[in-house]
Structure 1
Amino acid sequence: MYRVWLLFLCALLACKSGSSQQQSAQIPTTSSYYRYRTASRDGTGKVYMGREIAQVMGHLGASWLNRPEREQEERTDLLLKALNLKPTDVVADIGAGTGFFTFLMAPELSKGNVLAVDIQPEMIDYLNQGKARRKVTNVQPILGTEADPKLPAHRVDMAILIDAYHEFSYPREMMQHIISALKPTGCVVLVEYRAEDPNVPIKELHKLSVAQATKEMKAVGLRLIKNDQRLPQQHIMFFGR
């Protein structure tokens, strides 16, 4: 089963929506944070702090994000428990995609809400459709850009990035904006496949080690608070100021 969906995923990684390409073209590459080299098979050729940024899954990968076996493979039920959400929390789901996890969190936030961010208009359409179908009122889809999630300042209790951070074209700028959106006690949660484990059947550039994540978060003023290891294949890394 893993081999089947991995092949499907690999076929999708080269797909970017036209809107994403337009957004990328509008962002000046003046930053000294990045280096460039010949792209590897699954990479972009853009390097941040020694890590080649991975190619992005486009909106045509929606069916993979919503695959029926995802909950069992990734144990999203355990992830939800690990977050220990409070009913009043404001959670930013960065790279929300079709809203698979957005709509799992929403019922836990009876007095809060989910800010579901994606850079692809097609994914925002999926989110709005899911919101209407489920009659959910505490999910707010937000169309961000590759460098800015367009979050309100000082409003977010938790920003969660599920298998998304390693694909950010502008990780430094994105994290700076995310941090600006956090409340003083807010945190960032990175959920990433374990680069330390060669048995995790995911392409290397779509994994992230604790050491690399800690280094990159330290560069924007965050420290590792906890690495929860209850998931079968992914880290749950909590970062705070």
Structure 2
Amino acid sequence: MNRLLAAFFVATLGGACGSISTPAGISTADSGAHQEARPHENENENGNEHMHAFVSADEWTKVLDDPARDEWQRPADVLHALELTPTMIVADVGAGTGYFAVRLARAVPAGEVIATDVAPDMVRFLNERARHEQLPNLRAVRATHTELGLAPRSVDRILIVHVWHHLADRVDYARSLAAALRPGGRLFIVDFNLEGRRGPPANMRVAPEVLVAELEEAGLAARVSLVALPDQYIVEASLEPLEQQEPGST
């Protein structure tokens, strides 16, 4: 399978990488992101065999949308870092069952959230969830390994969570994300700290300064956000120079 496609597939199922249980009936063979207390334990030595068993979105929502995730994911802090306004167009890339997408939709009631995913059942589930939760400004669309599902210069914010460390051609991927940004738009990438009890093996983790350098190579201005999470960092990027951060301002 194309490694970029694999990365997107992992994003849909790996949004909650860490110490959480696997849905009942799903094989734990190479399903490291959802194994209790031993995340990513079935990687090969190169960290490339990181595919997750997939039963259905209805099963995975029990894991990905478990309220216990809030304690370490701190979604309110992530959304605060995005500095959203009610009319913004926001993309959640690798949205899965919608852990962040539904929160984004509530934060931009006069805007729109485009949630992308490569798994058809995730797209189906999330569109049904949007209807059930009365979020007409949220729509899920199918992505592929070559197509993000986002039009050029179409979004004000892009959020991408727990995907970066899986990507093979990260600079090219960053260029694709940059092309979807409107003038003044910003990209936010959440990934795992180099040390911590949640996340992939050490050989798969990406240092924040490396991520910043990759985004800069793609033509973006980038920096590590001052917003601190227990097990993750946030990197912010833009096509324009970024204003200076002030402690406590985000």
TM-score range, shorter chain: 0.7 to 0.9
* 1:181 CA drift (Å): 1.0
- Gaps in structure 2 of 5+ consecutive residues: 1-16, 33-40, 240-250
**Corresponding residue number in structure 2 for 1:180:** 179
Name the Cα RMSD after superposition.
2.9
Taking the aligned partners of 1:157 and 1:107, their CA distance within structure 2 comes to: 16
Alignment TM-score, normalising by the size of structure 2: 0.72
Q: Deviations over 1:154-195 (max 9, x none)?
A: 111111101122234553443222211111211110011111
- Residues 1:14 and 1:55: Cα distance change in structure 2 (over 3 Å): same
CA contact (8 A) 2:154 2:181 kept: yes
**Corresponding residue number in structure 2 for 1:78:** 77
* 1:225 CA drift (Å): 3.5
**Corresponding residue number in structure 1 for 2:28:** 11
* 1:139 CA drift (Å): 0.7
Give yes or no for the alignment of 1:94 onto 2:93. yes
Taking the aligned partners of 2:187 and 2:18, their CA distance within structure 1 comes to: 31
**Corresponding residue number in structure 2 for 1:154:** 153
Give yes or no for the alignment of 1:208 onto 2:200. no
Q: Which amino acid aligns with 2:139?
A: Q
Alignment TM-score, normalising by the size of structure 1: 0.75
- Gaps in structure 1 of 5+ consecutive residues: 16-39, 46-51
**Corresponding residue number in structure 1 for 2:217:** 219
Which structure's residues are more often helix, by fraction? 1
* 1:150 CA drift (Å): 1.8
CA contact (8 A) 1:44 1:55 kept: no
Q: Which amino acid aligns with 2:20?
A: W
- Residues 1:58 and 1:7: Cα distance change in structure 2 (over 3 Å): closer
* 1:208 CA drift (Å): 2.8
- Residues 1:225 and 1:167: Cα distance change in structure 2 (over 3 Å): same
Q: Which amino acid aligns with 2:104?
A: M
CA contact (8 A) 2:18 2:199 kept: no
CA contact (8 A) 2:90 2:155 kept: yes
Same amino acid, percent of matched pairs: 22
Taking the aligned partners of 1:143 and 1:159, their CA distance within structure 2 comes to: 16
The SS at the match of 1:214 is helix
Which structure's residues are more often strand, by fraction? 1
- Residues 1:207 and 1:76: Cα distance change in structure 2 (over 3 Å): farther
- Size of the alignment, in residue pairs? 208
CA contact (8 A) 1:124 1:141 kept: yes
List aligned pairs for 1:51-200, cutoff 5 A.
55-57=50-52, 59-60=54-55, 61-168=60-167, 170-195=169-194, 197=195, 199-200=196-197
* 1:64 CA drift (Å): 2.0
Taking the aligned partners of 1:133 and 1:169, their CA distance within structure 2 comes to: 36
Residue in structure 2 matching 1:239, options 230, 237, 240: 237
The SS at the match of 1:179 is helix
Taking the aligned partners of 2:27 and 2:197, their CA distance within structure 1 comes to: 15
**Corresponding residue number in structure 1 for 2:43:** 42
